[in-house]
Amino acid sequence: MKATFGAGCFWHVEDLFRKTRGVKSTQVGYIGGKLANPTYDEVCTDKTGHAEAVQVEYDPSEISYDELLQVFWNNHDPTSLNRQGPDIGIQYRSAIFFYNDEQKEIAQKSKDDLEKSGKLQKSIATEIVPAPQFYKAEEYHQKYFQKHGLS
């Protein structure tokens, strides 16, 4: 099964999911913009509309989509609009890109439950949208933390 999340700079997000039980593979890339085959430099202009994202291949017999969502929610600030930490721009937005109605429903329920929980001081800015074309980022971005001894 496949899941795709945007939660700020994709290096950190990829590393978290790569280390998650049940995740079989990860790749970082760009999704949700208006330019085909964007490059990192183009996405960084904040003009293509893409989000930096991680695409996760997972085994649903080992981890549920809801459990993946918990990794997502717990490892970034979903109340921050187009920003995570020092990274500012639409490419750093919080987003869940769903591939079917079941993922959409689970994601929306998860978001609603978190919103109602009172754990957050502000409203959730995370968008939940259909997954358009995912463009794999340049090879030097793949498993960046692992390649540079940061993992």
List 9, 16, 28, 137, catalytic entry: 9
Annotated catalytic residue 44: no
Q: Cβ distance 70 to 109 under 8 Å?
A: no
Token digits of residue 10: 């994709």
Q: Cβ distance 75 to 82 under 8 Å?
A: no
- As a whole number of angstroms, the distance between CA 4 and CA 21 comes to 16
| Rg of the chain (C-alpha set) | 14
Burial code (b: 16+ CB inside 10 Å, e: under 16) for 34-72 equals eeeebebebbeeeebbbbbbbbbebeeeebebeebbebb
Q: Which of 20, 21, 19, 48 is nearest to 29 (CA)?
A: 48
Q: Which of 3, 13, 16, 7 is nearest to 80 (CA)?
A: 7
Catalytic residue list: 9
